[in-house]
Amino acid sequence: MKIRTLQQLEDRLDSETGWRKRELTSVRFDAESARSRKLPTVLRGGVALLYAHWEGWIKRVAEHYVAFVIAQKLTYGELSDSFLALSLKARMDDFAHANRSTVNIAFAAFLRNDLDKQARFGSRRAIQTDSNLNSEILHRILMSLGIDSTPYDMHARLIDQQMLKRRNQIAHGEYLNLGLDDFLILHSKVTELLSRFTSDVLNGAAQGAFRTSRFD
């Protein structure tokens, strides 16, 4: 089902994030109610699941936003700079598979002849987390979507050290020294960032931030 309207986008994001919210609430409850001897195991599982939803939530919400923009059938010239760059990256990826001696000519012809045509970019490959959604990759995604990264950049240490590093320790079978209070703080801050991201996406869609101001 295509996402043509703002209401459809909102419904899709509600569906995408709703089950994630329930799981995140459940893992918090499990941590708060775990007996002391089981708590370390529960916290290890909690960090792993928290990261899984962090990456999955950001990726899927971003993809739905791109799908919504695609459904507006704008030309390259009508796109905002951020979405134009995102679509041009997809075209460059296509050109990269062409013969090296002709790729520059092909791209030059595209710039000369196709900018007034409907923009094309695959929503599935437009957003890449590299299975390692650190603060740098998040910053890149935010810039691609035209979202102010400042409120997220200030949490770089939280993302990279307090969540991602711990998740990697768990994935590599290492010991994790983490108390309940630290986990609850991490859980709270990460879920706040996820909610902010969803709100930023919906606000961008509602305000037409994906369009260039020249066409307002």
What's the pLDDT tens digit per position in 95-141? 666 556 666 677 777 777 777 888 887 655 678 888 899 999 999 99
What pLDDT, on the 0 to 100 scale, is given for residue 109? 76
Beta bridge partners of residue 118, listed in sequence order: 75
Non-local CB neighbours of 138 within 8 Å, separated by 6+ positions: 58, 149, 152, 159
Average pLDDT, integer, range 194-211: 97
What pLDDT, on the 0 to 100 scale, is given for residue 129? 87
- Cα separations (Å) of 77 from 47, 67, 116, 120, 205? 43, 18, 6, 12, 18
What pLDDT, on the 0 to 100 scale, is given for residue 182? 95
Phi/psi of residue 121, each to 5°? -165, 135
What pLDDT, on the 0 to 100 scale, is given for residue 110? 72
- The residue type of 27 is V
* Residue 91: how many other CB atoms lie within 10 Å: 18
- The residue type of 32 is E
* For residue 215, pLDDT beyond 60: no
* For residue 156, pLDDT beyond 70: yes
Which of residues 108 and 70 earns the better pLDDT score?
A: 70
3-state secondary structure at position 207 = coil
What pLDDT, on the 0 to 100 scale, is given for residue 155? 97
Instruction: Of 195, 212, 96, 94, give the one whose Cα is nearest residue 152.
Output: 195
* For residue 90, pLDDT beyond 80: no
Q: Judge if pTM exceeds 0.75.
A: yes
The overall average pLDDT reported for the chain is 89
Angle, vertex CA 184, rays to CA 178 and CA 188, nearest 5: 135
For tokens 């609430």, name the residue. Answer: 25
Percent with pLDDT over 70 in the chain: 89
What's the CA gap between 199 and 193, in Å, rounded? 10
* For residue 78, pLDDT beyond 70: yes
Q: Which contiguous run of DSSP H or E holds residue 79? A: none
